[in-house]
Chain A
Amino acid sequence: MDARLNLLNKPSVPAAEAEPPVVRLRHFTRRFGDNTILADLNLDIAPGEFVALLGRSGSGKTTLLRTLAGLDSTEGQDVTVPASRAVVFQDARLLPWKKVWRNVALGLKGKDVKARAVAALEEVGLDHRIDAWPLTLSGGEAQRVALARALVREPKLLLLDEPFAALDALTRIRMHRLVLDLWRAHKPAVLMVTHDVDEAVALADRILVLDEGRICAQDRIAIPRGERGELARPYREKFLQILEGSVRNDAVIPFPAGGAQ
């Protein structure tokens, strides 16, 4: 077994960060009525870090993402998120009555809005569909437009909400490559919500496992992205064990006390 693979067993030593984190949550709690969705959650994301958030349906993944996206009120809570952030949703959420480039340019201010939108579309390989209507795009194309729309804002934090869940396997692999290329070129911090272990392992620097509103495990993957082929299977098994509670005590990596890293 690869020595660099710690399989969520040992607390991973957080890398010493020179820069302050772009995202900082302390004791974050979110309730809807009597339902506690997120409880006492601590989270830091470093600038340029690619974090995958794994969890079952109903684990609070989407609530956490909505909080970071500024879609839910965070009044009275200790939450720091950068002002420049962008979301790619599972359904691309393009406005069907605006041509592709106008969707990308949505809400942009300043000069050369069209030029910037077109440049972003070129980057995702869609410069030939600039004037297309969104409803004529395929699922993969729509998701690439959504990526361009997010990246044209040069966000410090890019939030991906199961962005590839509705795509076919082949398109998904191509989208993974595209996302990595774009991430390397623009270096935003990324939080990708997913329920796909393979996807998380293939893309992320760090994997968080969210269950019942808590981060119940996390791991930093030191292995370079090209060499992770065999990694998904052991991770998947461990992930299942954690969720079933069979290895909870020794597997759970407690977040550093008070969340201070």
Chain B
Amino acid sequence: MSFINKLVNSRWFSPLALLAAWEAGSRLGLIPERTLAAPSAVAGTLFGMLVSGELPSNLAVSFGRVLTGLAIGVTFGVVFALIAGLSRKGEAAVDPLMQIKRTIPTLALTPLFIVWFGIGETPKIALIAFASMFPVYLNLYSGIRGVDLRLLEGARSFGLSRAEQVWHVILPGALPSLLVGLRYSLSIAILVLVVAEQINASAGLGYLINNARDFMRTDVIVVCLIVYAVLGLAADWLVRTIENRALVWRPSLVKA
């Protein structure tokens, strides 16, 4: 009795119940397989795709796209934020452009990027890079501008040069903001990946999904959705790990 009580009160209960209902619906023929494959079928497909190497190899391709796009986007975001954050002239030059960029939804640029870069890897990576640049820029820029002026003044009173002030005070002070930006950038990168991969892909998760759609393989589609979710979780975990290492000085983490 108490076990059932515990189960009903646990946060696992409703997802598990949904899963069970879904499985039962599939078995009883209420949910046709062409609409949605049964969870057991999905699990089987996942296992099969893992063993055959189909999933790992395509995942590696998608992962490579995200990583390349992110590397480019984050680099540009950081550079622009430093330019805008550390000098008034830089702010006047860079910030208006970034604000204009922000008003254009990245995905709306897809047709233009296809015209410019064709349908190979370049437009996919370019889209991810373009989208992931802004959160890093915005957060790091405001982080730099929000650095405690009293700390900066203290450093100045000890005769630190401008470069030393940037290195010892401004950048460490802006690091928490940068990591927040990085977290947004990661999730946006994965979001854009999903759409970008629909562009005539011959490998990657998007290719798998497109292929599965053509053959009405709902089990494969669900597997890919799960993989996207896992990618998102992994990205979040990555930033959390970086935060725990880089921000050990924060009291909440000191006490923990």
Q: Which of A87-127 contact B (CB under 8 A)?
A: 87, 89, 91, 93, 95-98, 106-107
Contact: A70 with B157, CB < 8 Å? yes
Contact-size category for B: 20 to 34
In residues 163-218 of chain A, which contact B (Cβ within 8 Å)? none
Cβ of B3 within 8 Å of any chain A Cβ, yes or no, is no
Q: What CA separation (Å) do A70 and B172 show in the bound complex?
A: 24
Q: Which of A97, A98, A135, A149 has the most CB of B within 10 A?
A: A97
B251 interface residue (CB < 8 Å to A): yes
**A87 pairs with B157, CB closer than 8 A:** yes
A64 at the interface (CB under 8 A from B): no
Within 8 Å by CB of B158, from A91, A106, A133, A135, lies A106
Bound: A135/B168 CA distance, A: 17
Contacts of B123 in A (CB 8 A): none
| Contacts known (A106-B168, A133-B249, A135-B254); A97 close to B158, Cβ less than 8 A | no
Q: How many residues of A contact B (CB 8 A)?
A: 21
A89 touches B150 (CB 8 A): yes
- Residues on A with beta carbons closer than 8 Å to the beta carbon of B153: 71, 93
Chain A residue nearest in CB terms to B152 = A93
A86 at the interface (CB under 8 A from B): yes
- Interface code B155-182, partner A: CB below 8 Å = 1, 0 otherwise? 1111110001000110011010000000
Complex contact A135–B154 (CB within 8 A): no
In the bound complex, residues from chain B placing their C-beta under 8 Å from that of A133 are 248-249, 251, 254
Q: Tell me, in angstroms, the Cα distance from A135 to B255 when the chains sit together.
A: 11
In the complex, chain A residues whose CB is within 8 Å of the CB of B151 = 93, 95
Closest 5 CB pairs of A and B: A93-B154, A97-B172, A87-B157, A133-B249, A107-B160
A-B CB contact pairs (8 Å), 8 listed: A86-B157, A87-B157, A93-B153, A95-B169, A98-B249, A106-B155, A106-B158, A135-B250
